Structure 1
Amino acid sequence: MLAWWIRVSVFVSGVVTLAVEFLGQRMLSPRFGDTLDVWGITIAAVLVAIAAGTAFGGRLADRRPYAEAIAPVLLASGALLAASALLGPPILDWLSPRTGDRVGALLGALVVIVPGCTALSLVTPMAVRVSVREGLVGRAAGDLSALATLGAVFGSIVTPFWLIGLLPIGTLMLLCALPIALLGVPALVRRPGTAVAVTGAFGVIAVLATLPSAGGTAQPGDRDALGTVRAAVDSRLARIVISDMDDDRRAMYFDRPEVVQSIVDLRRPERPVTPYIQAATTLVCPRPPRSVLVIGLGGGALLEPLRRLVPGVRIDVAELDAQVVTMARRWMGARERPGDRFVVADGRRFLQGTDSRYDLIYVDAFSGDRMPASLATREFARLAKARLHPGGTLAFNVLTTPDAPLTDAIASSARESFGPLSAQRASPARKLENTLLRSGPLPQQACVDRIGSTLDLPDLGVERRPLGAHRPLTDADAPVDQLAGL
C-alpha cells in the first residue's frame, strides 16, 4: 500500500507540474501578452523550479529517508499552489502597469509558477530514496523518474485539451492544489487532529474554487477601460471579454482591453465603428466580391457592412476558437445567413481542406495582438492564390508598432503569387497601428466615396502606406513577433 501511495504521489506531482505551466502562462498572458517571450519565461520558470526542487529534494531525502517525510512536502505544495491562485492575480495586476512585459512576466512567473513547482519537484528524489531496495538505486530512480515524466505528459495533454476553458484559470489552479495536498493527509493518520485540520483547510479551498472571482480577471459587472463588462469566459486560447461601452456600442477583447478585437454599434451594426474595419470595407472595390473567406471572426464586425455593400454575398468564416464563435453570436450579433458558414478551424488548415473558391480572402487573425506566423508566409500566399477565383484578392489586417517591417515582409512573401501589393493606413498613428495590405492596387476614390455614402461614413478615405523591401517570410523562417515590434 505504501509503495502505491508513493507512486501515485510521484505521478500526480508530474501531472500538476505541467498543469501549472499552462495555467501559469494563462495567468501571465492577459497582463504581459501572449508572446514567445512569455512562453519562454514560463518554460524557463518551470525548468528552474524542477532543477531547484530536485537538487534540494535529494538532500532532504538523505536527511529524512522515510515515507512520512513526503507528506509535509505534498501539503506544502498544495498550500503554495493555493496561494499562487489566490494571491497571484492581484500581484500580477500590480506588476502590469509598473513593469515592461518581459520583466513583469519574469517577476510574475516567480510568484505564480516557481514556488509550487519547486515544492512539487521535491517529491521524486524523496520517493527514490524511500523506494531503494537491495541496493537497486538505478532501477528505483529510473522507474520513478519515468512515472513523473508520464504524469507530466498526461498533464500537458489534459490541461490544454480539456481543462482550460472548462473553468476559470484561477479556479483550475486552486483545484490543482487539492489532489496534491490530500495525498499528504493519509500519512498523517498518526496525527488525527492535524489530518482533520488539513482536510478542513483544503475543503475551504474547494469552496473558494467555486467562486466566480477566482480567476482574478474581468468579471461580469466590473468596470474596465471600455465600459461595463457584460460577459467573460476562459477559452482554450484566451479570456474573452464582452464590454458594453457608454454609447450603445459593444466591444470584444481578448485578455487585455488595450487591444480591442471588435466594436459594433448595436443600433446600426452595418455601420463599422473601428477605423480598420472601415478600411476593410474598401476591399469591395473595384469589383464587389460574391464570395468571401474571413480568417478570424473576432466579434464579426465586418459581416454586416459587407452584406450591406454586396447584397447576397456568401461569407465563410474560419475561426480557431469555438468560444469566440459562441460569444460573437450571443453578444455581438454575428449571424450566418443562408449559404454562409462559421467553421471552427485553423484558417490555413481550412484552406488546405476546402474545395471552395473565393473572390476575397481577408486575414484578420490574432492571438492577443500577435498575428500567427503560419498566415504570413510565402507558402500561405501560394495556398490562398490556389483558393481564389481568377483576379481574386488576398488581404491582411496587419498590427504593428509604427515603422515596424512586418507589413513589408508579408508583402514580399505574397509578391511571388500576387505581384505587387498595396498598403493603406487603417488606424490613426499611435503605439500600435493597423495597416490594410492587399493584392493589387488601392481603390479609386470614386468607389470609396460610394462606400462612404452607403455606410454613412462621409470621411472614409484611403491613405497610402509606402512599402519597403524585405526578405520573404517562409514556414521555416517567420519571426513575426519581432518584425511587428511587439
Structure 2
Amino acid sequence: MGSISDRVPATPSKPGTAVFVSGVASMGLEILAGRVVAPQFGSSIYTWGSIIGVFLAALSLGYYVGGKRAAVEATHEQMAVLLAATAGYVAVLIFAGELLLAGAAAFPLPPRYASVPAIVLLFGPPTYLLGFISPYGAELTKKEGIGAASGHVYAVGTVGSIVGAFGTTYFLIPSLSVDLIALVFGASLVVTAAWLLLPSPSRRPAATVAVVTLLLVAAVLAPAVGYSVRGEVVYQTQTPYQELEVIDSGDTRTLYLDGQRHSAMDKDDPTRHVFEYTRYFHVPMLVADDVDRVLFIGGGGFSGPKRFAAEYNATVDVVEIDPEVIDVAKEYFRVEEGDGLNIYNAGGRQYLQDTEKTYDLIVLDAYKRDKVPFQLTTVEFMQLANDRLDEDGVLLANVISARSGPASKFYRAQYKTMNEAFPQVYAFPTAGAASVQNIELMATKGDEQVTEAFLRERNRQRDVGLNLSDEIDNFQRTTDTDGVPVLRDDRAPVDSLLEPMAGQRYVVEQTGDGGNESAAASPSVLRADAARSPAFPG
C-alpha cells in the first residue's frame, strides 16, 4: 500500500478537469437559461420546469450516446473538440440568441408549453455535447475498475455543478450581463480544451479551438455598444432577483425588469406620470381623510413615491426588496431620501410583520406580468395589510391581468382574496377589455360603499394635484369571481392563474405631455372642507 502522496496526484488529471468544467458550464447555463427566456416567456414554474426537463433530457442523451462511443473515440483531442464545439454554440447564443428566441416563440403551443421549443433550440445542443464529457472522462481516467472510474467522474462532475450553481447565482448574475456570463462559460470551455491538447496539439483540434476563440470574441464585440432597439442603453445589470436595464428613448427614461417596462420618467419633468396606470395611485386620496403616512411596497423607478413626496404633506415610506433597484433609482431616476421619503431594503411582507407603524394608504406595486410573489397575494397577507392600516385606511394593489376572459383569472382571484380581508373592494381597469393591462384594486376598511358619484364630487372638491375624471370613468363596483380560488398561504396557485396571459400583448398606456395633471409645482394640501365632508354615500 503506497503513501498518500503516491495515491493523490499532484495536479488535477486532464479528464477530471474536463468533467469538472463541464459540470460548471452545464449547471451555469441552466441557471442562465432562466434569464435568457424570461423576457419572452416569463419566469413561472412552467418555464423553470421546462428548463430543468430539457437540460436533464439533453444531458441524458449525451451520456447515453457518449457512453456508447467512449470505448472507441475517447481521447484528449476528442474531448477538446467537444468542449470547443460547445463553446462555439455559446458564441452563437451570444450573437443571435434573441433572434433564435423570437423564432422559437412562433410555435403554436399552449402557453404552458410555449417556452419548450426555445429552450430546446438554445440550450439543447450545448448541453447534449457536454453530456459526452463524463463517459469520455470515465474511459480515460486512471482509476481501476468501472465502479471506481464512474464514481470518480460522478463525484467530480457533481462538484462542478455545485460550483456552477452557486457561482452563477451569487457571483456572476449579480455582477455581469447575460452575454458576459455566457462568455465566461465559453472561455472556460475553450481554455480547458486548449489544456487538453498540450503539450503537443494536433492540427485540426488546435485549429478548432482557435476558431471558436475568435467566434467568442467576435460575438461579444459584434453588437453596437450601448444600443438596443428600445433606445440607448444607459445601464444594464443582472441582480439576484432580475435582469435590470435603464434605457433612454428621446426624453423618456424607462426601467426594464426582465425585459418588461416597469417604470418611466420624463427627464425634463421627473415627477410627471409617464405611464397612465400610475395616475390611479392618487384615487385613494379622494377616499381617505387626513393622509399623513403612505407606504409603497415595491419601488421600481419610484414614479409614485416621488410624486407623492413632492405633491402631499405626507411621510412616504418605500419598501423594495432588490438593493440594486434602489441604487439605480437614486442614480438614474432622481430619487432622494429625506423630505418625507424613506426607503427600506426588505421584502414587503417581512416589513409589515416587523413594523409597528400604521398607514393611511398602502400601495402594493410589487407584481409583474409573469412573476408574482405569491406571499404578497394571499388572504393572510391582505389581513396583515389591513392590520397596518388606520381605521379609514385604503389599500391599492396594482395587478397585471386582463379584465375579462381566460387571462383575467389572476385579477379575479386577487379581487376575491382581497374581499375576504376587506369589506369593500373596487376595480379600476386601465385599458381595453381583452388586453393584459394594469388593473388597480382599491380596498377600504369601512362598511360604507364608495360610488362613482362620490368620487366625482371629491374630485371636484379636492386638490390632489391631478384631475382624475378619466380614471373615475373606469370605476367598477363589483367583479365576477366565479370559478377562481381565494389565495391562501397553503395554496396560492399563482403560476396557473398567470398562465393564460403567456404570449399575450401587455398594454401599458402612456400619458400625454402633461395629461390632466395640475400645473401646481408646490406640495398641495387637501382642502379642509373636503376633509370634513360626509362619508361615502350609499
TM-score when normalising by structure 2? 0.79
Q: Look up the match of 1:418.
A: 422
- The correspondence for 1:305, drawn from 286, 307, 313, is 307
Mapped to 2, the partners of 1:348 and 1:84 lie a distance apart of 38
Determine if contact 2:367/2:398 at 8 Å carries over to the other structure. no
Determine if contact 1:415/1:421 at 8 Å carries over to the other structure. yes
Q: Secondary structure at the residue paired with 1:170?
A: helix
Residue 437 of structure 1, CA deviation:
1.3
> Which segment is superposed worse, 448-457 or 325-334?
448-457
- The correspondence for 1:483, drawn from 480, 494, 497, is 497
Residue 232 of structure 1, CA deviation:
3.9
Determine if contact 1:298/1:324 at 8 Å carries over to the other structure. yes
The one-letter code sitting in structure 2 at the alignment partner of 1:139 is A
Residue 67 of structure 1, CA deviation:
4.7
Count of aligned residue pairs for this structure pair: 474
- The correspondence for 2:257, drawn from 254, 258, 261, is 254
Q: Look up the match of 1:86.
A: 95
> Which segment is superposed worse, 121-130 or 75-84?
75-84
Residue 149 of structure 1, CA deviation:
1.6
Establish whether residue 112 from structure 1 lines up as the match of residue 122 from structure 2: yes
Q: Look up the match of 1:447.
A: 458
Could you give the per-residue CA deviations for residues 132-178 of structure 1, whole angstroms, max 9, x where no partner exists? Answer: 6443x223222321221222122112212221142220221122011
Q: Look up the match of 1:356.
A: 357
Determine if contact 2:368/2:400 at 8 Å carries over to the other structure. no
Residue 124 of structure 1, CA deviation:
1.1
Could you give the per-residue CA deviations for residues 174-197 of structure 1, whole angstroms, max 9, x where no partner exists? Answer: 220111222122332333655764
Q: Look up the match of 2:478.
A: 466
Establish whether residue 233 from structure 1 lines up as the match of residue 233 from structure 2: no
Q: Secondary structure at the residue paired with 2:371?
A: coil
Mapped to 2, the partners of 1:183 and 1:315 lie a distance apart of 54
- The correspondence for 1:125, drawn from 119, 132, 135, is 135
Q: Look up the match of 2:63.
A: 54
Aligned residues: CA RMSD: 2.9
The one-letter code sitting in structure 1 at the alignment partner of 2:465 is T
CA shift in 2, pair 1:38/1:182, >3 Å: same
Mapped to 1, the partners of 2:201 and 2:74 lie a distance apart of 20
CA shift in 2, pair 1:354/1:202, >3 Å: farther
Determine if contact 2:270/2:333 at 8 Å carries over to the other structure. no
Mapped to 2, the partners of 1:75 and 1:434 lie a distance apart of 46
Mapped to 2, the partners of 1:231 and 1:366 lie a distance apart of 24
Q: Look up the match of 1:156.
A: 165
> Which segment is superposed worse, 179-188 or 93-102?
93-102
Mapped to 2, the partners of 1:36 and 1:451 lie a distance apart of 45
Determine if contact 2:100/2:122 at 8 Å carries over to the other structure. no
Listed as ranges, the gaps of 5+ residues in structure 1 are none
Mapped to 1, the partners of 2:37 and 2:462 lie a distance apart of 42
Determine if contact 1:76/1:181 at 8 Å carries over to the other structure. no
Q: Look up the match of 2:53.
A: 44
Residue 288 of structure 1, CA deviation:
4.0
Give matches, 1:87-236, under 5 Å: 87-96=96-105, 105-131=115-141, 133-135=143-145, 137-189=146-198, 190-191=200-201, 193=203, 197=207, 200-201=210-211, 203-205=213-215, 207-208=217-218, 211=221, 213=223, 220-224=226-230, 228-236=231-239
The one-letter code sitting in structure 2 at the alignment partner of 1:84 is L
Determine if contact 1:381/1:417 at 8 Å carries over to the other structure. yes
Q: Secondary structure at the residue paired with 1:43?
A: helix
Determine if contact 1:175/1:206 at 8 Å carries over to the other structure. no
Determine if contact 2:292/2:315 at 8 Å carries over to the other structure. yes
Mapped to 1, the partners of 2:462 and 2:43 lie a distance apart of 36
Q: Secondary structure at the residue paired with 1:476?
A: coil
CA shift in 2, pair 1:324/1:418, >3 Å: same
Could you give the per-residue CA deviations for residues 67-86 of structure 1, whole angstroms, max 9, x where no partner exists? Answer: 55433222222222223322
Mapped to 2, the partners of 1:125 and 1:372 lie a distance apart of 41
Q: Look up the match of 2:324.
A: 323
Determine if contact 2:14/2:196 at 8 Å carries over to the other structure. no
Q: Look up the match of 2:297.
A: 295
Determine if contact 1:82/1:205 at 8 Å carries over to the other structure. yes
Determine if contact 2:70/2:136 at 8 Å carries over to the other structure. yes
Determine if contact 1:41/1:106 at 8 Å carries over to the other structure. yes
Determine if contact 2:81/2:205 at 8 Å carries over to the other structure. no
Q: Which has the larger radius of gyration?
A: 2
The one-letter code sitting in structure 1 at the alignment partner of 2:489 is D
TM-score when normalising by structure 1? 0.87
The one-letter code sitting in structure 2 at the alignment partner of 1:475 is D
Mapped to 2, the partners of 1:177 and 1:221 lie a distance apart of 24
> Which segment is superposed worse, 429-438 or 96-105?
96-105
Determine if contact 2:236/2:246 at 8 Å carries over to the other structure. no
Mapped to 2, the partners of 1:356 and 1:286 lie a distance apart of 17
The one-letter code sitting in structure 1 at the alignment partner of 2:478 is P
Q: Look up the match of 2:281.
A: 280
CA shift in 2, pair 1:192/1:126, >3 Å: closer
Determine if contact 1:172/1:209 at 8 Å carries over to the other structure. no
Q: Look up the match of 2:14.
A: 5
The one-letter code sitting in structure 2 at the alignment partner of 1:251 is T
Q: Secondary structure at the residue paired with 2:441?
A: strand
Residue 460 of structure 1, CA deviation:
4.2
Determine if contact 1:424/1:465 at 8 Å carries over to the other structure. no
Residue 401 of structure 1, CA deviation:
2.0
Mapped to 1, the partners of 2:417 and 2:373 lie a distance apart of 14
Residue 125 of structure 1, CA deviation:
1.6
